[in-house]
Amino acid sequence: MSYTITINGQVHKTDVNGDMPLLWFLRDTLELTGTKYGCGIGLCGSCTVHIDGNAMRSCLMTVKASNGKKVTTIEGLSKDGSHPLQIAWLSNNVSQCGYCQPGQIMTAADLLAKNPDPSMEEITTALEDNICRCGTYKRIGLAVADAAKQMKGA
């Protein structure tokens, strides 16, 4: 069985086992390691990618289920790190270890695409299940609010 998945604009045909989670296809097969493994059961959000424009946990999404879909990973969110969230993450010095941050940013990007002017409460609700063990939550909230402001102004 062969599957076709468009990842960051590039079409990939693969005959890996269709039950393989997209996470491991990205990390081990394509060596796109920006998408992180954290829990494997959809609890932590480190593996968040966009599938047809919606933030999804790639540890819960199989290759089979991704067939024919458009996937965006952190590597494809912008060409050069210029997404307003990526810029806001830097200007707010959000990251400590940085491991969970690709997932945080992908979740936030989905929020801002659907709600360009979120309240702090809406930001917190959207990111409630993205765990950061370093405890960067305060800065994550500020960065998302900053990025929203930038996007509105643009």
Which residues bind to other proteins, rule: CB under 8 A?
16-17, 20-21, 24, 27-29, 31-41, 43-44, 46, 73-75, 77-78, 81, 85-86, 89-90, 93-102, 105, 124-125, 127-141
Cα separation of the two ends of the chain: 45
Beta pairing, strands 10-14 & 70-72: unpaired
Return the number of the residue (36 or 50) whose C-beta is nearest other proteins. Answer: 36
Rounded least distance, CB 68 to other proteins, Å: 21
Rounded least distance, CB 121 to other proteins, Å: 9
Rounded least distance, CB 95 to other proteins, Å: 5
Rounded least distance, CB 143 to other proteins, Å: 10
Q: Please, are residues 4 and 43 in contact by the beta-carbon 8 Å criterion?
A: no
Return the number of the residue (69 or 84) whose C-beta is nearest other proteins. Answer: 84
Q: Which residues, 6+ apart, have CB-to-CB distance to 121 below 8 Å? A: none
- Which tokens is 116 given? 């360009």
Return the number of the residue (34 or 149) whose C-beta is nearest other proteins. Answer: 34
Return the number of the residue (131 or 151) whose C-beta is nearest other proteins. Answer: 131
> DSSP assignment of 64-125, as one string?
HHHTT-EEE-GGGS-SSS-SHHHHHHHHTT--SS-TTHHHHHHHHHHHHHH-SS--HHHHHH
Q: Please, are residues 57 and 47 in contact by the beta-carbon 8 Å criterion?
A: yes
Return the number of the residue (69 or 72) whose C-beta is nearest other proteins. Answer: 72
Rounded least distance, CB 119 to other proteins, Å: 13
